[in-house]
Amino acid sequence: MLRIARRGIVVAACLALVAASSACSDEAPSSSGGGTAASVPGVTDTEIVLGTHMPLTGPAAAGYSKISPATKAYFEYVNANGGVHGRKIKYLVEDDGYNPANTQTLVRKLVLEDKVFAILNGLGTPTHTGVLDFLKTQEVPDLFVASGSRSWNQPEKYPTTFGFQPDYTVEGKIIADFVKKTYPGQVVCHMGQDDDFGRDSLAGVEQVLGADGVKEKQKYVTSNTNITPQIQAFKAAGCQVVISATIPAFTALSLGTAAKLGGFKPQWVPSSVGADYTTLSGLLGEGKVLLEGLVAPGYLPVSTDASNPWVQLYQKVNKEYNGDAPFDNNIMFGMTVGYLTVQALLKAGKDLTREGLISAVESGGFKNAAVGPYRYSASDHSGIGGMQMGRVTGGVQAAFGPVVQTDDGAGPVQEYTEAPATPTSNGIPAV
């Protein structure tokens, strides 16, 4: 995937989620997933309609609001070059504000009213969890969820849902393995979002360090920007390394709050979810000096690596189709999702059906900008299984060390040695 500002900026970036509720029933599927193009929802002879829910506003908007425009820009690039088997991709983006109640309403609209072919890259653990059963009932492909929750990897329970980024337990294991080797004997603590994001991350960390290897464990909720008690607890416990499962606003808030307490300067190792330097420096403003030395894993090339062919491709697309938006890891994320989606649609064939798309993803074998392997199969819907550590030095975030891979079970963290893939000459996947 996939980073306090001056005090006022952070508070603005962390606006509380609006409390709401939505009672929903599960209608029968609007149509069979099979059939001719004319009878497949969201598919015509000239068009494929996809939809998503994204936090374009609200507490998770910082950074993440750039993802869907980047995906859409890549689709427009593909459309301008002939589309997918002659069809152009139309991408409908709904703003849920990172509010689960909004997500349910908007996803139902996309499926029942807009008749999308698939839901793509819906963002957020608390938000997307609430639509899993509905999408299953409707037999809608639920592709490449923008969250590392292990909930997406339940092919028997949710056969149409697939993850994208490394799940949070895989990431937790990779971070903990790095911390164990790099900071031996130091006091390690954990800060986690109070949902599957934080819980799965901690589970991975404890698989490597043991429950006793994490001295202090704290949680936060996105509706409360006062995390001073949590940071004070870390300081009192003598934490030397803090691993955090935090969205960008709360990564920035954690660093800024620690700095205000004085005398507390642990090594911060956030999840890739909240570690993009461009996003964090924007939140921190003049306080971006606090990011120096920040260490975090990543599963895509770092956006500042101008020598990387994927960065070069995405910068070109970004300039031509995304208004030349400030280029960062969120744009890398969005365009990689777009590239992977086109790969899957091409693999599904010209006679496009929902079942055919699911089978195409399960067949696996995808290679693109991801530094580690995709794990897709009929029995594994989890997504990318490898990561590489990165560090901020002199205001530049750069990767270092080997790419490593693991699973969300008892498997070891080990080096991934396969050579990285490169994009095709025209930047569009081959069939």
- The string of pLDDT tens digits covering residues 390-412 is 999 999 999 999 999 999 999 99
pLDDT (tens digit per residue) in 43-93 = 999 999 999 999 999 999 989 999 999 999 999 999 999 999 999 999 999
Check: CB of residue 400 under 8 Å from CB of residue 181.
Answer: no
Report all structural domains of the chain as residue ranges with CATH numbers, in order of start. Answer: 7-167+305-388+403-415 (3.40.50.2300), 168-298 (3.40.50.2300)
pLDDT (tens digit per residue) in 269-327 = 999 999 999 999 999 999 999 999 999 999 999 999 999 999 999 999 999 999 999 99
Q: What is the mean pLDDT of the chain?
A: 91
Measured CA to CA, the distance from residue 178 to residue 189 in angstroms comes to 14
Q: Residue 20: is its pLDDT beyond 70?
A: no
Neighbours of 86 (CB within 10 A): 9
Q: Residue 17: is its pLDDT beyond 90?
A: no
Instruction: Give alpha helix (H) positions in 66-221.
Output: 67-80, 100-112, 125-129, 132-138, 168-182, 196-209
Measured CA to CA, the distance from residue 164 to residue 340 in angstroms comes to 10
CA–centroid distance for 65 within its chain: 12
Q: How confident is the model at residue 430 (pLDDT cuts 50, 70, 90)?
A: confident
Closest CA to 406 of 172, 179, 244: 172
Report the DSSP pairing between strands 241-245 and 216-220.
unpaired
Phi-psi category of 47—alpha, beta or left, where left has phi over 0 and alpha has psi -120 to 50? beta
Check: CB of residue 168 under 8 Å from CB of residue 207.
Answer: no
Return all residues near 402 (Cβ < 8 A) that are at least 6 apart. Answer: 388, 415, 416
Coil/strand/helix, residue 400? strand
Q: Residue 3: is its pLDDT beyond 60?
A: no
pLDDT (tens digit per residue) in 140-152 = 999 999 999 999 9
pLDDT (tens digit per residue) in 161-211 = 999 999 999 999 999 999 999 999 999 999 999 999 999 999 999 999 999
pLDDT recorded at residue 37: 54
Q: Which of 7-11, 220-224, 243-247 has the lowest mean pLDDT?
A: 7-11
Report the DSSP pairing between strands 118-120 and 47-54.
parallel
Q: Residue 13: is its pLDDT beyond 90?
A: no
pLDDT (tens digit per residue) in 104-132 = 999 999 999 999 999 999 999 899 999 99
In the Cβ-directed half-sphere of 76, how many Cα atoms lie within 13 Å? Answer: 17
pLDDT recorded at residue 38: 57
DSSP classification of residue 291 = G
Q: Which two tokens stand for residue 277?
A: 């330097």
Mean per-residue pLDDT for 245-249?
95
pLDDT recorded at residue 431: 74
Return all residues near 381 (Cβ < 8 A) that are at least 6 apart. Answer: 152, 153, 154, 155, 158, 161, 162, 163, 361, 362
In the Cβ-directed half-sphere of 14, how many Cα atoms lie within 13 Å? Answer: 29
Measured CA to CA, the distance from residue 374 to residue 144 in angstroms comes to 11
Report the percentage of the chain scoring pLDDT > 70.
91
Check: CB of residue 16 under 8 Å from CB of residue 22.
Answer: no
Q: Fill in the amino acid letter for 366.
A: F
